[in-house]
Amino acid sequence: MRKRDALVGLAALAAFAGLWHLASTTGLFGRVPAAYAELLLPPPAAVARAAWESARTGELWGQVSVSLVRVAIGFGIAVAVGIPLGVVSAMSRAANAVLEPFVRLFSPIPGVAWVPLAILWFGLGDGAAIFIITIGSVFPVMLATAQGARAVDGRLVEAARTLGARTPALLRRVYLPSLVPFLVTGFRLGLGFAWRVVIAAEMVGVPKGIGYMLNMGRSTGRTEVTLLTMVMLGALMVVAEELVFAPLERHTRAWRAVEAA
Amino acid sequence: MSVALRTLDTRTTAPPHEPASTARPESAVSFAGVTKRFRIAGGGPVVALEEVSLEVRPHEFVCLLGPSGCGKSTLLRMVAGLERPCAGQVTVGGVAVSGPHSSRAMVFQDHALFPWLDVARNVAFGLEMNGTPGPEIRRRVAHFIHLTGLGGFERAYPHQLSGGMKQRVGIARVLALAPEVLLMDEPFGALDAFTRMELQGELVSLWQREPFTTLFVTHDVDEAVFLADRVVVMSRRPGRAKAVLSVNLPRPRRRTDPAFAALRTRVLAQFDAAPALEDWSI
């Protein structure tokens, strides 16, 4: 059944590519001259050629890896800062009272809104991109951690203590596993933010990276490069979802459901 | 205890105390003048337990029976080391309780199984905590899973089990530690009547195989009469041990037995009248 669903999905994608090809070779069904159509909507074959060419020269992987490294560093900092802040704000009423106004004030500001300041402070480079990614993804990580730390079941802590668990074992064997489902949610949200923010930053000025490539395609009249970059973005998200988040969620769903009940 | 109550005594997280190995004491668990006061948020102190004294003999099955709010669970939690008396003393095997210890593990009403561990790993948890070697853990886990009728469910997770099966895991998890005293806090309270009777029967057979000292909290008169060697009837506000009744019916007990019914009536009568503390034998 699942296999057939996947085949139907693939067939629909193929039909979409066929329609795309038709639209671009007929000048958007006769609405614009063929030369324009080439620029407005290059056919799938042109995108495939661009993919082959940029893969051969290493251009594609080069730009993708620049963005990936920026996200990895920026998100890594967000996790390193967000988890302790989340734990502290869940454990200490005073810390929460101090942190909450900042969270309320700063978390609704879209990450992209930090781009001008970041460029002003860090110049046009990796520093600005990493700063924006960190700012954009630290709040979801922190809030999910705090929520998870508050939700640790006191009964389980008591049960573990009567079974002989001391503090280090309690942290490792009860608190941490209780936190995992919340961390998965926080990481998924945070990485989503990070990814959007880095593309936006690279589009408006930070050189190199996927967002830069997206914009260069347009400004150099190579629309197929822009389209290729968009396809790459989707593919990367599918890979992250299938390799990282879906397995983690499957693994933690069991006790997530129990806690929700 | 109501959640609105706050304990006056906050020293409940003292490190566990290793019981000294002494000669077998006369009583396995002893409560001596145990008093517990709570303070209602924004109000005065409430006496939850007043001067409770009770001796539980080795291998004895004792039920603490009473309405909610009579402090019976608090008594049990004191033995577990999760709460401390404001006055008086709780001793297990002749040693004062000063914190939780795996020799006094507890079966909880809501089972409190670790949802991220499967059945076998839940049962192994306490053994892993006290440093039991791996092969011995596997042997004991297999043994107690078999004994509690959980065979074939080793790899199941708690959310995949029925309420009755979950509580079997809760019992196996504690029995695997060979506790000095088995503490059970209304363990069958959330189960349907038929599952409850089934588990009561199985608990008694487990106990008859290898009589472990058991303190069992319940508000179900039938359950107390079916299980206990002695039933401690408790009153509310202040919580007191009102009467101690010995149940001398032969096992396995039958709920349809006229003697069983007569005994149940006498226990129920304790909740109508308010006689002085005395030791009844029936």
Same domain, A77 and A31: no
Let me know if residue A47 belongs to a domain: no
Domain-located, residue A193: yes
- Mean of pLDDT values over B78-106: 93
Asked if B37 is an interface residue toward chain A (Cβ–Cβ < 8 A), one would say no
Q: A153 lies in which domain range? A: 58-260
- What was the pLDDT predicted at A261? 41
In terms of domains, do A122 and A12 share one?
no
Residue B162, chain A, CB below 8 Å: the answer is no
Q: What is the pLDDT of residues A7-17, one digit of tens each?
A: 999 999 999 99
Q: Are residues A86 and A156 in the same domain?
A: yes
A146: in domain: yes
Strands B29-40 and B230-235, by their bridges, are unpaired
Give pLDDT, residue A98: 94
Total domains in the fold of chain A: 2
pLDDT in tens, A31-50: 888 778 888 889 999 999 99
Q: Could you tell me the pLDDT band of residue A188, with boundaries at 50, 70 and 90?
A: confident
Q: Which amino acid is at B243?
A: A
A51 domain residue, yes or no: no
Check residue B198 and give its pLDDT.
92
Cβ-contact A223, A40 below 8 angstroms? yes
- Pairwise CA distance, residues B94 & B79, whole Å: 12
A108 lies in the same domain as A141? yes
- Dump the DSSP string for chain A: -HHHHHHHHHHHHHHHHHHHHHHHHTHHHHTS-HHHHHHHS--HHHHHHHHHHHHHHTHHHHHHHHHHHHHHHHHHHHHHHHHHHHHHHHH-HHHHHHHHHHHHHHTTS-GGGGHHHHHHHH-SSHHHHHHHHHHHHHHHHHHHHHHHHHT--HHHHHHHHHTT--HHHHIIIIIHHHHHHHHHHHHHHHHHHHHHHHHHHHHHT--SSHHHHHHHHHHTT-HHHHHHHHHHHHHHHHHHIIIIIHHHHHHHHHHHHHHH-
* Domains of chain B, first to last: 1-10+26-105+181-282 (3.40.50.300), 113-178 (no CATH)
Name which of A196-210, B202-216, B248-262 the model is least confident about: A196-210
Q: What is the ipTM of this complex?
A: 0.83
Q: Quick one: A26 and A79 in the same domain?
A: no
Closest in B113, B126, B158 to A164, CB measured: B126
Is B106–A155 a contact, with Cβ atoms under 8 angstroms apart?
no
B102 in reach of chain A (CB within 8 A): yes
Chain B residues closer than 8 Å to A255 by CB: 115-116, 157, 159
Residue A250: CB atoms within 10 Å: 9
Report pLDDT digits (tens) over A219-234: 888 899 999 989 888 8
Let me know whether A253 and A160 are in one domain: yes
- Strand B181-185 relative to strand B213-218, pairing: parallel
What is the model's pLDDT at position B1?
37
Residues A101 and A144 in one domain: yes
Mutate to test the interface with B, among A163, A248, A255 (most CBs of B within 10 A): A163
> Which of B84, B114, B155, B161 is the mutation pick for testing A, counting most A CBs within 10 A?
B114
Residue A46 lies in a domain: no
Q: Do the Cβ atoms of A137 and A74 come closer than 8 Å?
A: yes
Quickly state the pLDDT bin for B19 (edges 50, 70, 90): very low
What average pLDDT does range A82-99 have in this prediction? Answer: 90
Q: Are A161 and A198 part of one and the same domain? A: yes
Residue B205: per-residue pLDDT: 92
* Mean per-residue pLDDT, B103-110: 93
Same domain, A139 and A35: no
The pLDDT, as a whole number, for residue B16 is: 42
Burial of B227: CB neighbours in 10 Å, binned 0-12, 13-18, 19+: buried
Same domain, A36 and A68: no
Query: What's the pLDDT at B271?
Result: 83
Cβ(A226)–Cβ(A214) below 8 Å: yes
Same domain for A93 and A27, yes or no, is no
